[in-house]
Structure 1
Amino acid sequence: MKEKQQPTSRRQFLRTSALAAAGSFFIVPRHVLGKGYIAPSDKLNIAGIGVAGKGFSDVNNAFNKGANNIVALCDVDWNHAKEQFAKHPTAKKYKDFREMLDKEGKNIDAVTISTADHTHAVATLAAMQLGKHVYVQKPLTHNIYEARMITEAARKYKVVTQMGNQGASHPHQNIMIKWQNEGIIGPVHTVHVWTNRPVWPQGIPVPQGGDQVPDTLDWNLWIGPATKVGYTPAYHPFKWRGWWNFGTGALGDMGCHLIDPPFRVLGLGYPTEVEASVGSVFTKDWTPEYIPEGCPPSSHVQLKFPATSKNKSDVIMTWSDGGIRPFRPDVIPPDAELSEPGGANGVYMIGTKGVITCGAYGANPKIFLNSGKSPESKTEPINVPDLEHNVAWQEACKAGFNSDKHKALTSSFDYAGPLTETVLMGNLAIRSYDLRTQRADGKGFNYPGRKKLLWDGKNMKITNFEEANQFVKREYENGWKLV
């Protein structure tokens, strides 16, 4: 943090990390090389960073009914985390993950990270630098640059990784992959993805901070590398999602769940262009409320992808949120039940011969062919294998970085990094949309961001609108760095 004295200073932590990173991380029996090294038959010693909310299930899935040990728990809000602390009373408790990793690192094999989006990257990199395997909630990071750096770091430090988009392990994904491999709907040219998010306040004026900080909460640690603002329950513990300083909006919340099926089935990579439009809020006639700090009430994004070895066609993908849904293709009967009750979330993959549709997490895939002769579709109830996704990561941690189990993970960072970059590319376009400059005549604004943005994925750069590149990464504050 900035000037406040912490139990472990940033300089001390980085020195410890550098020493640990200098060596290699091998999977051998703990009794041979000491604590921190495991045999495949041993229990993992797991620590949690951000252990309430979604972190509650992530930690307990990692515990896996006693198959592993929970040795340390870190949360900036001990009241919010008290149920988790009670469930694992022998685990050491911390508020600062840097202190936890410094003091407990020798006894930790793997870490779950379920903080707010803005601290995913710094916590993940710190753990990986110490050779710890990591399970990180979606979206992997807060911005595109972080996603690229974290993906490259996972290879450098040779750790086992998994992003918490549990639908990646849904068995129904394999059904859609099989249909695509068999060419049943032909090359896919259009994909529509939609969600009913946000289901939290969004598109509203910036909350006025300054409330009394609860005694159990370290607000400075919660802020981390973000811009400092006063405490208000309008941000913590849940509503941070709608503010760019901390969250990634509806796209960040559901994009890794919903874009995952077409990204996986079609073998997509970096998009080449993106365009967006957003909903507006009017508090007076004719003049929309401009809130650059906050995510909009609704958005519509279009991304273009080149053809791949799995799909011999360029693909136009549209994303809609805020309750806006695409209209169903003609091949889908007017009264046909969609893949999720009420159609709150869903995906259409439209090919030359028909359409594949599924719900959130890839659940309940259905196929509709232009010929009218569709193969049997799977319409089982939505059953997201959250535990199985986490257990697969645990087994890969025991097997090691070069193991077949690690290579078989459905959302290791080699996959989750590019997927997250695609999701965050949509946010880059959304944030660029309302960039404005004063008109020369002083009567209103120009909106240079309202154009199609061309993306150089390799170099992480918008090539036709320099101002948009400010959203590729963020400048960390309060003394934090991604190193």
Structure 2
Amino acid sequence: MKDKKTNTNNSRRSFLKGSAIAAAGFYIVPRHVLGGPGFIAPSDKLRVAGIGIGGMGFSDVSGVFNSGKADIVALCDVDDTRAKRTVDAHPKAPYYKDFRVMLEKEANNIDAVTVSTPDHQHAVAAMMAMKMGKHVYVQKPLSHDIYEARMLTEAAEKYKVVTQMGNQGSSGEGVRKMVEWYKAGLIGEATKVYSWTNRPVWPQGIEWSKNPIAPPADLDWDLWLGTAPYKDYVGNLVPFNWRGWWDYGTGALGDMACHIMEPPFRVLELGYPKSAECSVGSVYVGEFNRGYFPESCPPSSHITLRFDRPGKEDLEFHWMDGGIQPTRPEELEPNEQMGDGGNGVIIEGTKGKMMCSTYGINPQLLPTSKTKDINVPETLYRVPDGDRGHYKNWVEACIAGHGSQEFKNLSSPFSVAGPLTESVLMGNLAIRSYDYRTPRVDGNANQFDYPGRGIKLLWDGPNMKITNFDPANQFVKREYREGFSL
């Protein structure tokens, strides 16, 4: 297909170069001056704009607004039908199609931004806002690529903005209990982690449609593509099934791992993995022939990450999706549910094991009968209302400012969410390398080798580079279409 480039006017291109907007801030009049304790003056309310306001975007905008400490002052979406519910809920907020235009025109009216677009647009929207000095709340996964995650993490500190990723379970009670239990030595030293999900619940491992159709009249298809290469519109992609295509989504990992991997990642204080390897499920075309669909995520995968821990043995971290699950622990009774059935985490230690469901819900020691006897003091900050307080947690930190106590109480700032997302996306790096193929040396056009299969990718985390299989490095960072940049 031909490459169609997005037109971008000079004002957009020059926007980030200007210092006036970046220097623009917002002034908060202390509430005690205007109305006493508990009174929220208009100037105390965070002025928030929403980018991507259908589906999960509706939930994000609503969550911020329902904190009681934010006003929704601008809205943006490329799909009018999907946006309608949010637009109707906030009729005074100007509505835009292009987030770049919105941020430019509303720069002096916005304090913070939520980003709830498809994965491939997260980084560019968040980065533009941060460069303007705006606080950002970004849906999981933080980014589409490892490079983007690193850049967003560094930018959050550089621009001194308040950040939060949309993995609400990180504000929940469960993950905090697990951290306290582990530090109390209830399972000893962790040796292995198993995490799994029943996703994908959308098509994966399939061929891109050969039957393009006209996009809906209410969808700006070119803006929806954004950073991605131009393709003609096809059915069964928007608004949800984009998750299974590498140009836009990050598969089951991107959808669920920031929820499911986060508890053990936090409990064990993990950094960058040192290696990644995987196997993936096959899709069969015809009676025997496996289809090769490099544009689509696989229907299932099993990924093994290894983390180096100074002075300790490496930690083996397993991720499984598409219905693959680990062997049930012997400590579970036959009729007891493992995780929540379709999703979960098990951390194995030298003295015992613990388990939880999605979002860190329902943490338990194994056997589960031990859980009722736990008597470990609470040492960690609890977010009021747990995962439901995830939005308010961010709003209050934005009002208090970077470096405040509220800022320090954040559950998933980019300093935490960025490294977590990088580890999640390492799994996709392994998957895409596993399916990487090259023509065989005999020149037969129909015969290929798969040099990435059966190998372990060695990762230089600080330099974001695979050191033993160079083709994998092409997946660390994408090239954007003209008009989009970090």
TM-score by length of 1: 0.91
Matches within 5 A, 1:127-142: 127-142=129-144
1:131 and 1:109 map into 2 onto residues whose CA distance is 8
Q: Quick check: 2:6–2:482 contact (8 Å CA) kept in 1?
A: no
Q: Quick check: 2:26–2:111 contact (8 Å CA) kept in 1?
A: no
Q: What's the CA shift for 1:5?
A: 5.2
Q: Quick check: 1:300–1:321 contact (8 Å CA) kept in 2?
A: yes
1:158 to 149, 155, 160: 160
Matched residue, 1:117: 119
Q: Quick check: 1:209–1:230 contact (8 Å CA) kept in 2?
A: no
TM-score by length of 2: 0.90
Q: What's the CA shift for 1:168?
A: 0.3
Q: 1:90 to 1:25 in 2, by over 3 A?
A: closer
2:134 and 2:310 map into 1 onto residues whose CA distance is 34
**CA offset digits 1:368-417 (Å, max 9, x no partner):** 169x8555479xxxxx9543001000000011001011111110000000
Matched residue, 2:286: 284
What secondary structure is seen at the aligned counterpart in 2 of 1:79? helix
Q: 1:361 to 1:42 in 2, by over 3 A?
A: same
Larger deviation, residues 5-14 vs 70-79: 5-14
Counterpart amino acid of 1:321?
A: D
**CA offset digits 1:92-120 (Å, max 9, x no partner):** 00000111111111011111000000000
CA RMSD of aligned residues (A): 2.5
Matched residue, 1:34: none
Matched residue, 1:466: 470
2:435 and 2:365 map into 1 onto residues whose CA distance is 38
1:75 to 74, 77, 85: 77
2:138 and 2:451 map into 1 onto residues whose CA distance is 36
1:24 and 1:6 map into 2 onto residues whose CA distance is 24
Q: What's the CA shift for 1:284?
A: 2.3
Q: Does 1:105 align with 2:127?
A: no
Q: What's the CA shift for 1:207?
A: 2.3
Q: 1:142 to 1:476 in 2, by over 3 A?
A: same
Counterpart amino acid of 2:319?
A: W
1:479 to 472, 479, 483: 483
What secondary structure is seen at the aligned counterpart in 2 of 1:470? helix
1:20 and 1:470 map into 2 onto residues whose CA distance is 34
Q: Quick check: 2:25–2:111 contact (8 Å CA) kept in 1?
A: no
Q: 1:212 to 1:167 in 2, by over 3 A?
A: same
Matches within 5 A, 1:210-289: 210-289=212-291
Q: Quick check: 2:6–2:483 contact (8 Å CA) kept in 1?
A: no
**CA offset digits 1:269-321 (Å, max 9, x no partner):** 10000001111111123321000000001011000012269xx5421011110
Counterpart amino acid of 2:469?
A: F
What secondary structure is seen at the aligned counterpart in 2 of 1:367? strand
2:472 and 2:137 map into 1 onto residues whose CA distance is 31
Q: Quick check: 1:208–1:230 contact (8 Å CA) kept in 2?
A: no
Q: 1:105 to 1:118 in 2, by over 3 A?
A: same
Q: What's the CA shift for 1:65?
A: 6.1
Deviation beyond 3 Å, 4+ runs, structure 1: 1-9, 23-31, 38-41, 372-378, 384-387, 441-444
Q: What's the CA shift for 1:19?
A: 3.5
2:354 to 344, 353, 356: 356
Counterpart amino acid of 2:448?
A: F
2:211 and 2:127 map into 1 onto residues whose CA distance is 30
1:24 and 1:103 map into 2 onto residues whose CA distance is 13
1:4 and 1:290 map into 2 onto residues whose CA distance is 30
Q: What's the CA shift for 1:440?
A: 2.5
Q: 1:40 to 1:396 in 2, by over 3 A?
A: farther
Counterpart amino acid of 1:168?
A: S
What secondary structure is seen at the aligned counterpart in 1 of 2:334? coil
Matched residue, 1:393: 394
What secondary structure is seen at the aligned counterpart in 1 of 2:215? coil
What secondary structure is seen at the aligned counterpart in 1 of 2:44? coil
Identity of aligned residues (%): 56
Q: 1:27 to 1:330 in 2, by over 3 A?
A: farther
Unpaired runs of 5+ residues, structure 2, are: 32-39, 376-384
What secondary structure is seen at the aligned counterpart in 1 of 2:278? strand
Q: What's the CA shift for 1:40?
A: 11
**CA offset digits 1:208-228 (Å, max 9, x no partner):** 353122222111111011011
**CA offset digits 1:40-87 (Å, max 9, x no partner):** 971111100000100001001111165321110000111111111111
What secondary structure is seen at the aligned counterpart in 1 of 2:303? strand
2:359 and 2:86 map into 1 onto residues whose CA distance is 26
Matches within 5 A, 1:366-385: 366-368=364-366, 375-376=372-373, 385=386
Equivalent residue pairs, number: 465
Q: Does 1:54 align with 2:52?
A: no
1:479 and 1:20 map into 2 onto residues whose CA distance is 19
What secondary structure is seen at the aligned counterpart in 2 of 1:294? coil
Q: Quick check: 2:76–2:97 contact (8 Å CA) kept in 1?
A: yes
Q: 1:53 to 1:438 in 2, by over 3 A?
A: same
Unpaired runs of 5+ residues, structure 1, are: 32-37, 379-383
